[in-house]
Amino acid sequence: MLRDAAEIKDGATVDADLCIVGGGLAGIALASTFLDTETRVVLLESGPVGESAEADDLSNGESTAHPYFPLSDGAPRRLGGAADLWGAWCRPFDPIDFEERDWPWSGWPLTAEEMAPYYEKARQFLRMSERGFAGEAWADGLPPLYRHIQDTTSLEVGVWQESPLAPISEAYTGPLEASENLTVYVGATVLEVVQSADLGAIDGLDVATSNGKRFTVRADQYVLAGGALGTARLLLASNSRGGAGVGNGHGMVGRYFAEHPHIVAGRIPLSPPAATGRPRFAAIDSGLPGTFARIEMERPKAGIRAGILLPEDVRRRENLLNVIAHLRPPSVEPPRVALEFFREVRHQNIKKVLKGIPQLLRHIPEVINVVYRRLLKRPRELELYVQAETAPNPDSRVVLSAEKDTYGMPRAELQWRIGSLDKELLARTVTQMGSELEAMGLGPLRMEPWVTDPGDVWSTEPFGGLHLMGTTRMSVSPEDGVVDPDGRVHGVGNLWIVGSSVFPSYGSSNPGMTIAATTFRTGERLALELGGESRSNGDDTVG
Ligand SMILES: Cc1cc2nc3c(=O)[nH]c(=O)nc-3n(C[C@H](O)[C@H](O)[C@H](O)COP(=O)(O)OP(=O)(O)OC[C@H]3O[C@@H](n4cnc5c(N)ncnc54)[C@H](O)[C@@H]3O)c2cc1C
């Protein structure tokens, strides 16, 4: 069932076996495993179905360390959460991402082998191909330049698959609505997770509605799926019993916030193939005739995206962070209205397409400039655009701000800190990638000045992939994190967390597939706790 929380009687109490807070990718993935089971599930989602500026504003707050985008960009409040706006590019973490490395606080208390069955469930849930994520498996679909890199260098080509679940709520609103054991309340914002007197369990949730009512939810088990900002903020703000918030006995809530820097780290001047002995590639050696090859390089025909990585054994031997890089013609960002317009065209949202036409027309000169520079002009250089891992850092964190939102809840303050170690390891990785590319006739690579500058200054412009991670990290010991390897909050028997906030190390892959995989693992533990079975995966639960 799908209900607007505004219809609930003021002061009411809603009972359930399981209550999930947050209806984004993690909340929906978890709910899908309990569809049509005996478990009575209530899912509380702060936002509505579809966009709402007022709801999104609940996520806003300040960034006081590294400059960042408006916080609501990465934590929109709506059914589907960020996965209603996401690119849906999916790739699991590499096995090495789960290992303990030479820098502090690295590694997961779970191995890649333990995660494998849950990645398979995530693949099915996100409806992706069984061909996997290695370039070799997609040789027929890779753009020629990447195929050549794969065949002639020691670099690996990795791929992302595009999940058709974009936006995710489109696929799942129907099944959630039709379900009899599950009620989704939209416009239901949890203001406090109320602890029992001995602090060992959760007694209930204090929930506000968009029309000024308050109600309580009582359940046997509670799962927070509010995203890396929303979940940390809710735990920190749940302090009416005193102390520093729920699950925060060791001051770990909010710490180890991470993002994947998405940034141009170097440039490769393009000499003509004759001068270097390399083959000719339409995508980089032709103007107008190369247009389709350039489009294919960014979005290959097979619905995949390609990137280059140093092989795992090199990363392990040289102790490098994980970096995946794209080679692309110099980027000229299209105006935001154009991106939104073409997104609606892709989703065949006729009403929004018609509404967007006048705005798009106002930006036509910029759009033409982007099309000319990105697609029609022969590029003079290639950008090495990286998506990078950073080392876990306890001082990179989310704290409560003195400012409050419309419900009187303290807003989040983000202090994203990335350090000189991250930059040094990135520079070493990029140097190695550059020499491999040079040996095959591309280059030499020129690093961006900020990469080689000593110190911890990166670009002064905001950057990132809107991949919000960390803040309630997974750990064996309560001193080192917030949840145990099953996702249960240390010391609070009936409280669990799902989502990328539990990642203790961050790899370089986009987080969606690992969010789904870890959520299915926690869902299995939770089903045992509730004395029942959840469904094996989400794929057969949707129409
Ligand atoms: C534009 C964009 C593009 C992206 N592209 C990709 C991509 O290509 N591939 C990829 O893997 N990842 C991508 N990401 C990241 C990915 O979408 C997110 O990591 C993922 O969707 C997070 O899911 P989540 O459910 O953990 O959190 P969220 O999506 O943040 O969902 C949390 C939900 O909880 C609700 N909530 C928060 N607080 C409360 C509260 N107090 N009470 C009730 N409800 C609450 C929110 O309204 C929200 O719906 C992208 C993100 C964005 C924004």
Q: How far is the CA of 477 from the centre of ligand 1 (A)?
A: 27
Cα 189 from Cα 5, distance rounded (Å): 9
The answer to whether residue 176 is domain-embedded is yes
The pick from 77, 405, 471, 483 for probing ligand 1's pocket by mutation, whose C-beta has the most ligand atoms within 8 angstroms, reads 77
The CATH number that applies at residue 491 is: 3.50.50.60
The pick from 466, 483, 498 for probing ligand 1's pocket by mutation, whose C-beta has the most ligand atoms within 8 angstroms, reads 466
Contact present, 374 and 329 (Cβ < 8 Å): yes
The pick from 43, 46, 185, 246 for probing ligand 1's pocket by mutation, whose C-beta has the most ligand atoms within 8 angstroms, reads 46
Percent of the chain predicted with pLDDT > 90: 77
284: left (phi over 0), alpha (psi -120 to 50) or beta: alpha
Using CA positions, which residue lies closest to atom 50 of ligand 1?
A: 86
Neighbour-count burial of 218, counting CB atoms closer than 10 A to its CB (0-12 exposed, 13-18 middle, 19+ buried): middle
| pLDDT the model gives residue 68 | 95
Q: How far is the CA of 509 from the centre of ligand 1 (A)?
A: 16
189 CA: nearest ligand 1 atom: 42
Contact present, 432 and 260 (Cβ < 8 Å): no
Cα 33 from Cα 288, distance rounded (Å): 49
Using CA positions, which residue lies closest to atom 35 of ligand 1?
A: 22
Confidence of residue 361 (pLDDT cuts 50, 70, 90): confident
Mean predicted lDDT score pLDDT of the chain: 93
Is the pLDDT reported for residue 540 higher than 70? Answer: no
188 CA: nearest ligand 1 atom: 43
Using CA positions, which residue lies closest to atom 18 of ligand 1?
A: 82
Sequence-ordered list of residues with C-beta below 8 angstroms from that of 476, at least 6 positions apart, any chain: 109, 484, 485
The answer to whether residue 372 is domain-embedded is no
| Ligand 1 residue neighbourhood (C-beta within 6 Å) | 21-27, 44-47, 74-75, 77-78, 81-83, 85-90, 189-190, 225-227, 230, 234, 466-467, 499-500, 510-512, 515
| pLDDT the model gives residue 334 | 75
Contact present, 340 and 356 (Cβ < 8 Å): yes
Is the pLDDT reported for residue 224 higher than 90? Answer: yes
The pick from 467, 468, 502, 509 for probing ligand 1's pocket by mutation, whose C-beta has the most ligand atoms within 8 angstroms, reads 467
Cα 361 from Cα 374, distance rounded (Å): 19
Is the pLDDT reported for residue 538 higher than 70? Answer: no
Cα 167 from Cα 189, distance rounded (Å): 22
Task: List residues bridging with 190 in a β-sheet.
Answer: 207
The answer to whether residue 139 is domain-embedded is no
Is the pLDDT reported for residue 527 higher than 70? Answer: yes
Contact present, 389 and 91 (Cβ < 8 Å): no
The answer to whether residue 113 is domain-embedded is yes
Q: Of 244, 190, 229, which Cα lies nearest the Cα of 63?
A: 229
Cα 149 from Cα 509, distance rounded (Å): 20
The answer to whether residue 175 is domain-embedded is yes
The answer to whether residue 522 is domain-embedded is yes
88 CA: nearest ligand 1 atom: 8
The structural domain count of the chain equals: 1
| pLDDT the model gives residue 13 | 98
Mean pLDDT of all residues in 123-137: 96
Confidence of residue 534 (pLDDT cuts 50, 70, 90): low
Q: How far is the CA of 263 from the centre of ligand 1 (A)?
A: 21
| HSE-up of residue 192 (Cα within 13 Å, Cβ side) | 18
| pLDDT the model gives residue 539 | 42
226 CA: nearest ligand 1 atom: 34
44 CA: nearest ligand 1 atom: 43
Task: Give all strands of the β-sheet with 397-404 in edge-to-edge order.
Answer: 62-63, 410-415, 397-404
Percent of the chain predicted with pLDDT > 70: 98
- Tens digits of per-residue pLDDT, 437-451? 999 999 899 999 999
Q: How far is the CA of 154 from the centre of ligand 1 (A)?
A: 36
| pLDDT the model gives residue 481 | 98
Give the amino acid at 275. Answer: A
The answer to whether residue 366 is domain-embedded is no
Q: How far is the CA of 110 from the centre of ligand 1 (A)?
A: 23
Mean pLDDT of all residues in 459-471: 93
Mean pLDDT of all residues in 401-415: 97
Q: How far is the CA of 468 from the centre of ligand 1 (A)?
A: 8
Tell me the DSSP string of 416-453. ----HHHHHHHHHHHHHHHHHHHHTT----EE-HHHHS
Mean pLDDT of all residues in 72-80: 97
Its domain, for residue 249, covers 1-127+164-259+397-416+468-543
Mean pLDDT of all residues in 379-388: 94
| pLDDT the model gives residue 331 | 77
Contact present, 227 and 472 (Cβ < 8 Å): no
511 CA: nearest ligand 1 atom: 11
DSSP 378: P
Give the amino acid at 396. Answer: S
Cα 19 from Cα 280, distance rounded (Å): 58
Q: How far is the CA of 38 from the centre of ligand 1 (A)?
A: 28
Higher-confidence position of 297 and 58? 58
| HSE-up of residue 46 (Cα within 13 Å, Cβ side) | 29
Confidence of residue 536 (pLDDT cuts 50, 70, 90): low
| pLDDT the model gives residue 297 | 85
C-alpha to C-alpha distances, 29 to 118, 185, 411, 536, nearest whole angstrom: 12, 16, 27, 12
45 CA: nearest ligand 1 atom: 44
| pLDDT the model gives residue 371 | 80
Is the pLDDT reported for residue 535 higher than 70? Answer: no
* Least confident interval from 326-330, 409-413, 484-488: 326-330
Q: How far is the CA of 113 from the centre of ligand 1 (A)?
A: 26
Q: How far is the CA of 25 from the centre of ligand 1 (A)?
A: 6
- Strand pairing report for 13-21 and 214-224: parallel
Sequence-ordered list of residues with C-beta below 8 angstroms from that of 492, at least 6 positions apart, any chain: 195, 199, 200, 201, 202, 246, 247
The answer to whether residue 194 is domain-embedded is yes
Using CA positions, which residue lies closest to atom 15 of ligand 1?
A: 467
* Least confident interval from 279-288, 359-368, 495-504: 359-368
Q: How far is the CA of 55 from the centre of ligand 1 (A)?
A: 14
| pLDDT the model gives residue 215 | 98
513 CA: nearest ligand 1 atom: 11
Cα 463 from Cα 442, distance rounded (Å): 27
Contact present, 126 and 165 (Cβ < 8 Å): yes
Q: How far is the CA of 72 from the centre of ligand 1 (A)?
A: 10
Cα 524 from Cα 533, distance rounded (Å): 8
Cα 482 from Cα 154, distance rounded (Å): 40
Task: Give all strands of the β-sheet with 323-328 in edge-to-edge order.
Answer: 89-90, 156-162, 304-309, 323-328, 381-388, 262-269, 446-447
Cα 95 from Cα 134, distance rounded (Å): 13
Q: How far is the CA of 241 from the centre of ligand 1 (A)?
A: 29
Cα 5 from Cα 407, distance rounded (Å): 15
| pLDDT the model gives residue 533 | 60
Using CA positions, which residue lies closest to atom 31 of ligand 1?
A: 24
Q: How far is the CA of 204 from the centre of ligand 1 (A)?
A: 24
Strand, helix or coil for residue 353: helix
| pLDDT the model gives residue 363 | 85
